Chain A
């Protein structure tokens, strides 16, 4: 891969830092009048999802990382791997291990469209859609008529995820969840 110097760092550029693939979030060139020039860079580690800030000497360069993102449909899990298929009609399939799926596991429903990040053609990160509709498989009985007060109770979803739901939600209902926060959004529209 090519090397990129600080002046070429821009949002979205994929580079290797300390052996990990990273995506540049922000890059600012700073030069105090009589002081050392540097670049203040925010990077997202694509394996862990963590964003950190780091300064670089201006003119320093980093090796580019062969990172691609694809929209893929989740198919099934065999317990060890989670299998996805490209949505570009190529029917190409890949298998992601537990590290790549990580916290996304609890939101994966068959046929849902996820973003899969490949580094050197190996999946390193799976991000579930921002919103998923899932069925409630377990929760305390609902309280009839209580649709206004703010109380909530824990509920288990078909994927095993636990979320807080309002008291009036019952087993068997389908709800919409924001996967970024794990919060209940409402009853599913299609239900």
Chain B
């Protein structure tokens, strides 16, 4: 699998790079928790993805790059989660989101021994807009729905929801939207599809379309598993700072540790060429490719008893 991926990128002149897994600054996403270690100079974080480092590399090289690297996310393990996993991430200067989605499909098409489900679906993968799917079901743009309605709809899904507490912030909006998507919208969208036009509160580091107000982000869903996550990359340091500020407030509201602003990363973003980038979970890819039901079935060292 890894050899086929490397061949694919070599044929397309995408350069493999290697970036540090340990960093002085962690991700500012409120719902991603980093493993922390320390040395004499202070705290270090194991990367939750190579995004910050790769963007700095891209600012330096200015050409298409990819990396296959371990990533670490603190939290429970489960059927499709392992605190340590392998991520493939690549950046494409000059390519838009549609072009990048096609490239994801091209990559999967070069992998050996595709499962039956991929052979039957790949020619015609549906692309759904989060905004449209949400509007069709709830009658309102997810950017504009008020928090109390979202919270009510969450309560009406049938499960007794105790993992969320109402906060007056964008993270709460995002968490409600996530839950509604999972419980209400996703089940009717089929087994393999792309999702685009994310709500603004889920823009992360993606550009926002000034016309529609939607985040220019896509995800590839495969039987309920998020397999890949791509952005039209945000390059404006001021916008990155304001998103950091929103996340910092969400962290304060939830009593989560604060994360210092990574100005080296933000400044490097401005030096990147206009580009799109995508991350793909290799462990999950192997899982769905082998039609396994859980990561532990395809891992030699499944968490936590390795």
Which A residues are closer than 8 A to B by beta carbons? 6-7, 28-40, 52-60
Query: Does the CB pair B81–A33 fall under 8 Å?
Result: no
* Interface CB pairs A-B, < 8 A, 11: A29-B77, A29-B78, A35-B174, A36-B163, A36-B178, A37-B163, A38-B163, A52-B160, A53-B160, A55-B163, A58-B76
Residue in B78, B174, B229 whose CB lies within 8 Å of A30? B78
Residues of the A chain whose Cβ atoms lie less than 8 Å from the Cβ of B78: 28-31
Q: Given A32-B226, A57-B162 in contact, is the A37-B77 Cβ separation under 8 Å?
A: no
How many residues on the B side are at the interface (Cβ–Cβ under 8 A)? Answer: 27
Query: Does the CB pair A36–B31 fall under 8 Å?
Result: yes
Query: Does the CB pair B163–A31 fall under 8 Å?
Result: no
- Of A34, A57, A58, chain B has the most CB atoms within 10 Å of the CB of A34
Docked Cα-Cα span, A56 to B158, in Å, equals 14
Instruction: Tell yes or no: B175 within 8 A of A by CB.
Output: yes
CB distance from B290 to the nearest CB of A (A): 20
Docked Cα-Cα span, A34 to B170, in Å, equals 12
Residues of the B chain whose Cβ atoms lie less than 8 Å from the Cβ of A53: 158-160
Instruction: Tell yes or no: B182 within 8 A of A by CB.
Output: yes
Task: Report B150-190 residues with CB < 8 Å from chain A CB.
Answer: 158-164, 174-175, 178-179, 181-182
- Closest-by-CB residue of B relative to A53 is B159
Q: Given A33-B229, A53-B160 in contact, is the A7-B77 Cβ separation under 8 Å?
A: yes
Q: Given A35-B175, A52-B160 in contact, is the A58-B75 Cβ separation under 8 Å?
A: yes
Residue in B31, B79, B162, B175 whose CB lies within 8 Å of A56? B162
Which B residues are closer than 8 A to A by beta carbons? 29, 31-32, 75-79, 81, 158-164, 174-175, 178-179, 181-182, 202, 204, 219, 226, 229
- Of A35, A39, A40, A53, chain B has the most CB atoms within 10 Å of the CB of A35
Given contacts A31-B78, A40-B159, A57-B162, 5 further A-B contacts (CB under 8 A): A35-B178, A36-B178, A37-B75, A38-B164, A53-B159
Residues of the A chain whose Cβ atoms lie less than 8 Å from the Cβ of B164: 36, 38, 55
Query: Does the CB pair A55–B159 fall under 8 Å?
Result: yes
Docked Cα-Cα span, A37 to B171, in Å, equals 13
Query: Does the CB pair B81–A31 fall under 8 Å?
Result: yes
Residues of the A chain whose Cβ atoms lie less than 8 Å from the Cβ of B204: 34
CB distance from B28 to the nearest CB of A (A): 11
Docked Cα-Cα span, A87 to B188, in Å, equals 50
Docked Cα-Cα span, A33 to B218, in Å, equals 12
Residue in A34, A39, A52, A57 whose CB lies within 8 Å of B32? A34
Residues of the B chain whose Cβ atoms lie less than 8 Å from the Cβ of A58: 75-76, 163
- Closest-by-CB residue of A relative to B49 is A33
- Closest-by-CB residue of A relative to B304 is A7
Docked Cα-Cα span, A101 to B182, in Å, equals 39
Docked Cα-Cα span, A33 to B76, in Å, equals 13
Residues of the A chain whose Cβ atoms lie less than 8 Å from the Cβ of B219: 33
Docked Cα-Cα span, A32 to B269, in Å, equals 25
Q: Given A36-B178, A40-B159 in contact, is the A29-B79 Cβ separation under 8 Å?
A: yes
- Closest-by-CB residue of A relative to B183 is A40
Residues of the B chain whose Cβ atoms lie less than 8 Å from the Cβ of A32: 178, 181-182, 226
Residue in A28, A52, A60 whose CB lies within 8 Å of B79? A28
CB distance from B27 to the nearest CB of A (A): 10
Docked Cα-Cα span, A57 to B160, in Å, equals 12
Residues of the A chain whose Cβ atoms lie less than 8 Å from the Cβ of B160: 52-55
Residues of the B chain whose Cβ atoms lie less than 8 Å from the Cβ of A31: 75-76, 78, 81
